[in-house]
Structure 1
Amino acid sequence: MTEPIALRVLDRFRGLFSRFGVDYPVMRRILQVKLTMDARRVPTIVGKSKQRSDDQNAEDHNQFAKSLWIYALFGVFCSAFMWLGDNYFFKMSLTFGVLMFIVMTSLISDFSSVLLDIRDRNILATKPVNHRTLTMAKTMHVCIYLIMLTGAIAVVPLITGLIRHGILFFLIFAVELIFMDLLVVALTALVYLTVLKFFDGEKLKDIINYVQIGLTIVMTIGYQLLIRMFNLIDFHVTFQPKWYQLYIIPAWFAAPFESLLHRNGEPILTVFSLFGIAVPLLAFIIYIRLMPSMERHLQKLADPGGRPVRGKGRLLQGLSRIFCSGSQERGFFRLAWSLMGNERDFKLKVYPILGFSIIFPFLFLFTSGFDDGLKGLQGSPKYLFIYFSGAMISTIIMMLQYSNKYKASWIYKTLPISDYEEVHRGALIAAIVRLILPLFLVQSVIFSFIFGSGIILDLVTAGLSLLLYTVICYAFLHRNLPFSQPFDAIQNEGLRVLPLILLLGGFGVLHFVMTFINYGVYAYTMVLILLNFLVWHPNRKIFKRLTRRVEN
C-alpha cells in the first residue's frame, strides 16, 4: 500500500491529535486506506478518464491529484485581480469571493458524500475504534483534499501576489487561505449536523439536498452583494461601510491586507479582520467537539424513514397517465421518477445544479440594473432572462444515464420491451415533470408579477423552446439507456455541453428578434408548437434514433 505524502505531514502533529482524544495510529491507518481507495475515484469536474487495464497502476495514481490542473485554470483567472490597482480590500474581496465559491461548490459536489458517508461504520463499528478517531479521520480526509484543491486554485494568485506586492502580501494570503478552508469545512459540517439532529430517514436525505440548494443560492447572491460593496467613480474604487457587510464573509479575509499593508485603521476593517480569524477557529473548535454527536446522528441516514405517504402512489399513477401514452412508457416514467427521488448520490450531484437554475434568471436580472424599480422593468425585454433557467438542463439530462444501481440495468434485456424508445421517453418525461417544469413554473409566476401579465405569451414561448431544447440535449448527450452507467463513468462532457449552451442562447436571441416583428412572437410560438408535436408524438418515432445509439 502506498504512503501518501499527506500522512507524513500529519505525523508531525501526532501530539496535537492525541490531545483531542484521537487514537492517532488507528486514524492514520484509516486515512491511508481512504486515500488509497481515492485513487480509483474520479472527481465531478473531470469525469471519467481513460480506463486502466492494470489495477495496480490505478492504485498508484490518484485521479483527484491529476485533475488539479483544471482547478489551476480558475486560479489563473483569479490572478488577474492581483493587478487591479492598489486597493487591497477591493481586489482581495473579489479574489476570496471567487475562491470560496469554487471551493464550496467543489465541497458540495465531490465531498458531501464523504462527510455523510456511513458505509465505513459497517466495518469499523465492530472494531475497537472510538467515535472521535473515526470522525477525525473523516474530517482530515476532507481537509487533505480541500488543501490540495485550494492550493491548486491559489498557487498562481499566490505567485502573482508575491511578484506584484511582496513577501508580506504572500504570507497574509497563505494564512487567510487556511482560515478560509477551516471555515468552509466547519460551516458545511455544522449545517449538516443541524439537519441531522432534527430529521431522520428519507426525509433527512431530502432536507440535506435542499440545504445544498440553499448553500448554492446563498453563495451566488452573496457574491453579488460583495460586488455592490464598492462604487466605481472615475475609475477609482470607493468603499462605504454598511452594517450588513459584516455578513459578507469574503470581506473578512480581505480586510487584513488593507489594515496591515496600507496601515488603514478604519474600525470596520479591524472588525472584519477579527471576524476572519475568530469565526473560523471558533467554528472548527465547535465542530471538533460535536464530532461524536455527528457520528451518532449519521446513523439516521441508514434508517429507511417512516411509512410512505398515503396517496403518493396514486399521484404518481395519475401523473404517468397524464404525461405518458403507453403502459410501458408509464412504467419507465414511474421507475425514473422513483430513482431520481430515492438515489442520494444522484440528488447530491443534481440538486445543487437546480439551485443555479433557480437563481440564474434573477441573477442576470439583478446585475443588469433597474434604476426605476419594478415599474421600469415593465415594457422592457428583460423577461427573456428566463431562458437562463435552462442553462443547467444539459447537465441534468446528461446525469440521467448514471446510477449507483447501474448493475440492475440487466432488467432492460430481460423484460419484454417492444420498443426502447418508450424507455427513453419515460425517463425524459419524468425528468422534465419532476425537475425542470416545477422550477420554470415558479419562475414564470415571479416574472409575471415583475413584468406584468403582458408577458404570458412570451413565457409560453420560452417554455416551448426549453421543452424542445431538452429533447435536443437528450439526443445529443445520451449514448446509453437511462440509469445504466456508474457515476465513475461520467466523462468530461464540457466541450459537448458548450454548443448546447450556445444553442440555448440562440433560442433566446431568436425570441428577442421576433419581438420586433408584427405578430412575430405568435408565429414563433406556432412553429414551436408544431415542432414539439412532431418530436413528442408517439407515432412519429423521433426517439428511434436514440435507441439506435444505445451501447450494447
Structure 2
Amino acid sequence: MNKLLLKLVNLLMPLLERTGVDTYQLYHILRIKLQMDDRRPSAMFSHRRKAAATPGKATSSWAVSLVTVFVGGFMGVTLLLFKGPMSGQTVYFSMFMVMMALTLITDFTTVLLDVRDQYILLPRPVSDRTLAISRILHISIYVFKLALLQGLAGIVIIGFVDGLLAVPLFIVQIIQITFLSIVLVNVVYLILMRTVSPERFKDVISYFQIGFSVVIFAAYYLLPRLIDVSDLARIELLHHTWSYFIPPVWIAALNEVLIHPNRATLITSLMAIIGVTAPLVGLWLVAKVLAPGFNKRLAVAATSDGNSTGPAPAHGAGKKPKFDLVGKMANLLAPNPVENAGFRITWKLAARVREFKLKVYPAFAYVPIYFVYFALNGKGSLADRFHKLQAGYYYIFLIYLSTFIVSSVLQNISFSEKFKPAWIYYALPVKQPGKILSGMYKAVVVLYYLPYCIILGGISIAIWGPKVINDIILAFFVGMIYGILMALFMVKGLPFSKPVLIKQSGGRIITSLLVMSFILVIGAGHYALIKFGFDMVIWILIIPAAIVFWIMLYYYKRQGWDSIELEEF
C-alpha cells in the first residue's frame, strides 16, 4: 500500500517543487518514514510482541491492517442491523470516531514523539520547508490509510444498502468523521499537555494504549454474548432530543438528506449542514487556536525520559521523611540484604517502566473478560445465565485463571529496552543471584498477584458466599507454586537485565507448556474435591501447599550464576 500512496504523493510533486521543496529528498524521507511505521509494533499488539521477529521486515504491518479491516467489518454490520438507515449510520460513525480517535491517540503518539529522525536529518542539507512538508504529508498519509482500512467494509456495505450513488457520499462522510476525530485528538493532546507534565503525558498515553487493547479484546469476546441483535435493530436513537447534539448524527444526516430526501425534515437538513461545516470549523480552530505552542510542548514531551519517575524526596532539616511502605515490606519479607535489594529494584522498576506496564497490565483485564465469556456462554437471558453461574462452581475457573497474571509478569520481568544499567548486578560481589530472583518473585507476588487474588476472592465471596474461602486460599498457594515453577524454568535473567529482542527456543516453549499443564491438572483435582463435597480435605491441603511453596522458594533462592543467562554489555 505504501508504494501506491507514494505514487499518489508523486502527483503533487510538481506543485510542491514550485514552493521550494526538494522533491527528491521529500520522496525518500517519506519512503523511510512509512517503512519505519510498518516496523513499529501497534499498540494493540505491543503486549504480545515477540522478539522472534525477523529484523528488517514489516512484521506487524499486515497483521495490523487485517485487524483494522476486520474491526471495520464488525462496525459495518451495524449498517445492516438497524431498520432506520440514519440510526445505523449514527451508530457506525460513532464507533468509527471512537476507534479512529483511540488509534490516533495510542499508535500515532509514538510517531509524533519519535524525534530520532531529526538527529539524522538536521545535520544534513535538508531545508526546513522540506522537513515541515514531509511531516505534514506523513501525518496525512497515516490518517488516510487508517481511515481507508477502517472504512473499507462500510463503503462496500453501503453500496449494497443504498446503491452505488451512496458510495461517493459515504466516502465524503468518512472524511468528515475523520476530520472530527482529528479535532478531538488535538483537543485531548492540548488538555493533557497543559494540565500534566511531559512525563505524566507519556504515562496517560500509555494508559490509553492499555485501555485500547482491552477495549478491542473485550468487544471481540463479550459484545456478541451480551447484545441481542433483534433488540438492537429496533432502537430509534433519533426519538431522543439529546441525540441531536452527537456529531455522528450530523454526519449521518447528510445521507438522509441526499439519498433519502423523502424522509428528510428541517431538523435533519440543519444537522446535515452542521455536519458539513463542523469539521472545517474544527480544523480552523486547531490551526489557529490549538496549534500555537503545540510543537514546543510536543518536543518537551519527546525529549523527556522514557520512564515514570517521581520527584526525589527532599529531607530538609526538621522535616520528617515520608513513610516508606516499600522499604517496610522489603525489610519484613526479604531480610537478607541481597534479597532485599532484588525486592526493591523489582518493585520500583515494575511500577515505573512504561514498556513493562504496557505488556503486563492488559492481562489484568483479560482474566475477567475470559471468565465472563465462558461463564455467560449459553442460551437464555442474562439473569438466567447469572443464576446458572451462581449455582455452579465457576469460581474455581476464575481463581485459577488468575495465575495468568503471574505468568504474564514473569515472562516480561527480565526484559527491558534499557537493559544496559543491569551491569551493576554483575559488578557486585553476589555469590548467589538466586537471592535477587527470590526478592524479585516476592515483589511480583506482593505487588501484583496478592492484591489481584484479594479482589477476585472478594468478588467470589460476594457471588458464591463464604464457602469458597478455603478454595481461594488453596488456589492462592497453588498459584504461587505455579509461579515458582515458571520462574525456575522460564526466568533465566535478573530483573530488567535482558534486551527485548531475544528469540525463545523451542525447548523453552515445550517447558512452558508442561508447566501450564501443572495448573490444569491441579485445578481439575480441586474441582473434583468440590464436586464431591470434600471441603475439609481442601482445608487440610492448604498446609502442605504452603509448605511446598516455601521449600521451592528456598531452593529457588539458592540458584548460582550457572543458572543465569548472562548478557554482554
* TM-score (structure 1 length as normaliser): 0.68
Alignment of 1:272-311 (within 5 A): 286-289=285-288, 290-298=290-298, 299=300, 302=304, 306-308=311-313
Structure 1 residues 421-430 or 527-536, which shifts more?
527-536
Superposed, 1:42-191 pairs within 5 Å as 44=46, 47-48=50-51, 51=54, 58=56, 62-64=58-60, 67-69=61-63, 71-72=65-66, 75=69, 86-87=80-81, 110-117=107-114, 141=138, 144-145=141-142, 147-148=144-145, 167=164, 178=175, 182=179, 186-188=183-185, 190-191=187-188
Residues 246, 73 of structure 1: CA spacing in aligned structure 2 closer, same or farther, 3 A cutoff?
A: same
Matched, 1:540 2:543: no
Does residue 426 (structure 1) correspond to residue 439 (structure 2)? The answer is: yes
Shift of 1:406: 1.5
> In structure 1, which of residues 300, 320, 329 is the aligned counterpart of residue 330 of structure 2?
320
Which is worse superposed, 428-437 or 366-375? 366-375
Maintained 8 Å contact 1:214/1:355:
no
2:413 to 377, 390, 400: 400
Q: How many residues are matched? A: 535
Match of 2:235 among 228, 234, 239: 239
Question: For residues 71 and 544 of structure 1, what CA distance do their matches in structure 2 show?
Answer: 45
Is 2:478–2:545's contact at 8 Å kept on the other side of the alignment?
A: no
Look up the match of 1:409: 422
Distance across 2 between alignment mates of 1:143 and 1:349: 29
Residues of 1 paired with 2:104 and 2:53: CA distance? 24
Q: Describe the shift of the 1:421–1:225 C-alpha distance in structure 2 as closer, same or farther (beyond 3 A).
A: same
CA contact (8 A) 1:72 1:155 kept: no
Match of 2:497 among 484, 487, 503: 484
Q: Does 1:460 align with 2:473?
A: yes
Note if contact 1:253-1:276 (Cα within 8 Å) is conserved in structure 2.
Answer: yes
Distance in 2 separating the partners of 1:506 and 1:104: 44
Further displaced range: 299-308 or 251-260: 251-260
- Check conservation: 1:69, 1:152, Cα contact below 8 A: no
Q: Which moved more, 1:360-369 or 1:286-295?
A: 360-369
Unaligned runs of 5+ in 1: 53-57
Q: Distance in 1 between matches of 2:249 and 2:516?
A: 33
Task: Tell me the residue number matched to 2:196.
Answer: 199
Q: Is the 8 A contact 1:259 1:269 kept in 2?
A: yes
Partner-residue secondary structure (3-state), 2:324: helix
Q: In structure 2, what residue type is equivalent to 1:413?
A: Y
Report if aligned partners of 1:213, 1:355 keep a CA contact under 8 Å in 2.
Answer: no
Stretches of structure 2 that go unaligned for 5 or more consecutive residues are 316-320
- Deviation, structure 1 residue 424: 3.1
Shift of 1:518: 1.1
Task: Give deviations 1:341-375, integer Å, cap 9, x for gaps.
Answer: 33333334444554555766578778886538999
User: Are residues 80 and 341 of structure 1, via their aligned partners in 2, closer, same or farther at CA, if it must alter by over 3 Å?
Assistant: closer
Q: Which moved more, 1:106-115 or 1:81-90?
A: 81-90
**Cα deviation code 1:501-520 (max 9, x no counterpart):** 88877776665544322134
Map of 1:9 onto structure 2: 8
Distance 1:450 1:535, change over 3 A: closer
Aligned residue identity for 1:407: K
Q: Pick which of 482-491 and 324-333 moved more.
A: 482-491
Q: Which residue of 1 aligns with 2:318?
A: none
**% of aligned pairs identical?**
24
- Output the CA distance in 2 between the equivalents of 1:22 and 1:193: 31
Could you say what the CA RMSD is over the residues aligned between the two structures, in angstroms?
5.9
Q: Which has the larger radius of gyration?
A: 2
Take 1:399 and 1:169, find their aligned partners in 2: how far apart are those partners?
49
CA deviations 1:255-311 (Å, max 9, x no partner) are: 988998888949899999899877776666555552443333331562876333875
